[in-house]
Amino acid sequence: MSKKHWLVYALITTFFWGVWGAFSEIPEKNGFPGTLIYVIWSFTMIIPAFFALKQVNWKIETDKKSLFYGLLIGFLGAGGQLALLSKAIVTGPAYLIFPIISLSPVVTIILSTIVLKERAGWKGWTGIVIALAAIPLLSYQAPEDGPANYTWLIYALIVFFAWGLQAFYMRKANKTMSAESIFFYMTLTGIALSVIAVFMTDFSKDINWGFNGPGLAFLIQILNSIGALTIVYAFRYGKAIIVSPLTNAVAPVITIIISLILYAVFPNNIVLTGMVLALVSMLILSFDDED
């Protein structure tokens, strides 16, 4: 496998996550709650899991080490997703929550450098720093009303650490087990937590059961799921200290561009600066050649 194949998978992830980001809030605005959006997301994971497992003749690693890593990665990712959809964005301001969460690659980079001994050349580290600077800028939204309390901060930090740790363990696990098995366990844990999401749903409120609720949520969340599969492959062939900041920096650029086209929403100067930095970091990280 060419060492540049990690970049192909990383860019596929950024594309699908970028498109997903542009449309992700529509079902909830249409009256379909975030907890049920999570449930639909968890089941959309089955589709890419089917095609991935078919490629390896349905061979799933079930030894203790693979079970541990697979379930850990799955619960960190799905747990963070559930905390985000059901608690964080419900109780707090998005303009503060997403910049915090988007810096989760910091956790991944620190652990991968110390534990996995990953290294990058000067170009790589330059790209990493630029990407980390771009991420919170891309997540910035002008505040309208100040938050009433800081409960949201707890959930935002939970997602921050969960997704940072997930990316680290995804890279670590790829050294001893197949990417297909990792994604299988991610799918399994995602569906398992959907039971909790159902119980967290307030069914006493009006819920939009029309196509522009659950139907649209399915079409949008499948993009998220495909991106989740391809990032596992990106971590198989690429360094976590490169893949994580790259995908987190470039995907929002795609989201912003699509939003600009569809909704005629022009980014403010802060976000625009983040877009430029993200594109610069992508170009630099694409040419990192340090082994």
- Calculate ∠ Cα 250-21-124, nearest 5°: 15
Q: With bands split at pLDDT 50, 70 and 90, how would you rate the model's confidence at 245? A: confident
Question: pTM for the whole thing?
Answer: 0.85
DSSP line for 45-104: THHHHHHHHHHTTT----SHHHHHHHHHHHHHHHHHHHHIIIIIHHHS-HHHHHHHHHTT
The pLDDT assigned to 143 comes to 63
Q: With bands split at pLDDT 50, 70 and 90, how would you rate the model's confidence at 96? A: low
Reported as a single tens digit per residue, the pLDDT across 54-71 is: 999 999 999 999 999 999
